[in-house]
Structure 1
């Protein structure tokens, strides 16, 4: 898969992982693991990019005596997910066209 496309898909997956509740890095990886493989070295740059794009916010909270960063999706992040759903419909039509069976008459 083209790197740019995969990067965009991973960004949307990260947003989807925090859509319903705030989460932290390890939990995001765990939540995504049954759908897509992502490592810490891939996740954290994505989280920074999404924060810079104001698609998520970060807060720090203490957990078991250590500081942990929690990520929260913004309204702009929710709008990005909605836009992806629309884009996906178009991509699905393209996929169906490309993989269709050609009938020989």
Structure 2
């Protein structure tokens, strides 16, 4: 479950170009701690799945690889977000002891 949450969290932050450390900072500012040893393999996997694109910026003294959602990634993120919200609500109802009577 955490892996899915981290994927969704990372995708949510890539509407503008981010490099790894800036992404870690943005996530931590929102209360979600992610280790760099988890983040970079996740970014590579998302790039391989064509959800994320990357470009190198070599204008600074230290080159940085920036990641951003691809067009396909935007579509998948929107779908995942809807599914996550639906599942979260269902789980929330279960944890509160509410039962689905099937009339939805």
Partner of 1:27: 22
1:12: how far off? 1.3
Task: Provide the rounded CA distance (Å) in 1 between the counterparts of 2:88 and 2:7.
Answer: 19
* 1:79 to 2:78 alignment: no
**Aligned residue-pair number:** 97
* 1:68 to 2:64 alignment: yes
Can you give the 5+ residue segments of structure 2 that lack an aligned partner in the other structure? 99-104
1:63: how far off? 4.3
TM-score (norm 1): 0.82
Task: Provide the rounded CA distance (Å) in 2 between the counterparts of 1:10 and 1:32.
Answer: 9
Task: Provide the rounded CA distance (Å) in 1 between the counterparts of 2:3 and 2:96.
Answer: 27
Can you give the 5+ residue segments of structure 1 that lack an aligned partner in the other structure? none
* 1:98 to 2:81 alignment: no
Map residues 6-25 of structure 1 onto 2, 5 A cutoff: 6-19=2-15, 21-25=16-20
Give the secondary-structure state (helix, strand or coil) at the position aligned to 1:58.
Answer: strand
